[in-house]
Structure 1
Amino acid sequence: MLFIGHFSFDEISPDGSPKHGYFSSIVDAKTPDAAVDKFQDHIKKMKTQIREMAAVVNVYIEEILRVPNIPDTPVITRLQSADGAFPPSISHALPGVDNEDIDAFGLAADVEKHEASSDGGFVESQPFITFAQ
């Protein structure tokens, strides 16, 4: 059975300032407890193997979803809202993944090109959909 885990984390940046972030992970497991064990093992492994997680100091389970059947129509698996403008952040699709069974579609391959500006700042992403206000 497919399980999707949504996690948040605390990290300490190289200059010592606190940061936080979120990630999701999927796994096939027989039970929710088995899924939690697999997630835990994988997170510990990724902490030592990929640079994007090297500074992580705490990981929190936000929720774990059990998906007994793959839906025919899209399902939003996570929605989060925060006060204020979108904060500066970096996003990585499939960090540390070398698996032919899963693909990422989007701008991941061109992150540096699309996000970094000539002055070292970041370029805002273009909307996929804009709704009239």
Structure 2
Amino acid sequence: MECIFCRLVRDGDARWVARGREACAFAPPDPLAPGHTLVIPTSHRADIFDTPPDVLAHTMALVQGVADAMRTELGAGGVNILSAHGPAAEQSVPHLHFHVVPRWSDDAFSTWPTGQSRHRIVGDPVRRLADAMSCTPATPPRGGR
């Protein structure tokens, strides 16, 4: 069975925040907060144990860039970076991924981390992040960032 994240990368069927040769970022279908973003290596890597250090470094650099864009573009006071590795850790998709979730001091989650934020953003937070990362969410650029 094909990996759902690999299919998204191949077909371009995602709301992209950033897309590069080594790593990419996109909005999940059911975000925990406005601007919640998933960051993955572009090539299939099951988890942190299966990922070479150079690929992990590129992926984490993108995690950092997305987190910074959340602070500057969405006014987030912080971020939660969540990741599970392996079945015993309840990894939901067997492709290395990091959830980058913006947080605000006035934010309230019904049941963190499974509930959803009640914080509101003016405009489309995915588009705002994509603009900050120089990516068009609906039509990702080929190559480059």
Q: TM-score range by the shorter chain?
A: 0.3 to 0.5
Larger radius of gyration: 1
More helix by share: 2
- TM-score after normalising by structure 2: 0.32
- Compare relative contact order (CA 8 Å, sep 6+) and give the higher one, 1 or 2: 2
- TM-score after normalising by structure 1: 0.34
